[in-house]
Amino acid sequence: MKIEDHLDKAERIGGLRNRLDPADDYELWYWASLSAGMNLFNAALHHLGATVAEDCFAHNLPVYIRPGAAPGTFEAVIRPFGDLEHVEGEEAESLVPPSLAIAAAALRDLEAARDPGIRGDMKITPELIDGVEAAYVRVAGIARLVLDGDAADGP
Amino acid sequence: MKAQSHRAKAERLGRSLAKCRPGDYEMIIDGAMLAVTHWINVALHTVALTDDDSDVVHAYFETAFDRQHLGLVVGTEFLDGLEEIETLRPLHARGNVAGGEAAAVRALDILQGIREKALAFVSDSPATD
């Protein structure tokens, strides 16, 4: 997507995240943290020219879904890296510039909690919630620094 | 994971989804996907078609054989519903195609249908939350 579309999603998803209770709504609150963080991270990658900003939507990379010429039509296409779904794997990780390395590490911290806490029955503890919060704040803060142009050489 | 734990996760996601507004369509679609996945595992574990350590995660991870096999016993609606929500995700949750709010309504309809179908397989034992 384009940078402005990522920022719009991050803003709205972040708004929902703020309305949810981190303990009572842990699963959706966590998912909103990861999704808003990933949108900001993708926006920052586009801003730095590390990935392509275009209207192709990630679907098990390198496959993207691209709207067709006629409304309501879509096609699956293989594209150069645009939006990332996850920051994992040698190829995706090699795209991350130094200024986003800490944000990428924070995203990997978030991802590490995904399956055990969302699809598994890992106990939801205050420590887990604090860890998710800290990782989200780190991703969002660094991505916004990059987007504001204050972190060309690293935060 | 045990059926009761899947049910607790699914019910908690349902309560969280009730706090969403129409404009939260990305998280409604994704949250519905997660809840549907848990309800599917409730049904499959309850009828002992799958073990506690063998959970459905995505419809596209299941083989054609698995889909036929599972569908014959519990019905095809479970994985078909999950697949339909999964097709909405790149367009609306990860993309900016118009119609996100309508897609979210459809995802919630699918979730409601699958929840009811899963509960039909379950005894009246209360969920542990």
Candidate from A74-83, A145-154, B34-43 with smallest mean pLDDT: A145-154
Looking at the domain assignment, is residue B81 inside a domain?
A: yes
* Contact list, A60 vs chain B (CB under 8 Å): 60
- Kindly state the DSSP code that residue A67 receives in the 8-state scheme: E
The number of distinct structural domains making up chain B is 1
Looking at the domain assignment, is residue B29 inside a domain?
A: yes
pLDDT tens digits for B65-77?
889 989 998 999 9
CATH class of A3-51+87-147: mainly alpha
**Is the separation of the CB atoms in A33 and A110 below 8 Å?**
yes
Alpha-helical regions (H) of chain A: 3-19, 26-47, 90-94, 101-112, 114, 126-147
Q: What's phi and psi for A78, nearest 5 deg?
A: -95, 125
Of A5, A74, A121, the CB nearest to B96: A5
Looking at the domain assignment, is residue B126 inside a domain?
A: no
Determine which helix (DSSP H) or strand (DSSP E) holds A78, and give its type and residue range: strand A74-78
For chain A, the structural domain boundaries read 3-51+87-147
pLDDT tens digits for A15-31?
999 999 999 999 999 99
B31 touches chain A (CB under 8 A): yes
B127 — pLDDT class (breaks 50, 70, 90): low
Of B21, B30, B97, the CB nearest to A31: B30
pTM given for the model: 0.93
B118 touches chain A (CB under 8 A): no
Beta sheet of A63-67, edge-to-edge order: A57-58, A63-67, A74-78
- For residue B18, the tally of other CB atoms under 10 A from its CB is 8
Looking at the domain assignment, is residue B122 inside a domain?
A: no
Query: Could you tell me the CA-to-CA distances from B117 to A58, A87, A153, B30, B91 in Å, in that order?
Result: 31, 36, 54, 20, 27
A34 touches chain B (CB under 8 A): no
Q: What is residue A68's predicted lDDT score, i.e. its pLDDT? A: 87
Looking at the domain assignment, is residue B80 inside a domain?
A: yes
Instruction: Count contacts between A and B (CB, < 8 Å).
Output: 84
A53 — pLDDT class (breaks 50, 70, 90): very high
Task: Print the domain residue range for B13.
Answer: 3-115
Would you call B19 and A5 a contact, using CB atoms and an 8 Å cutoff? no
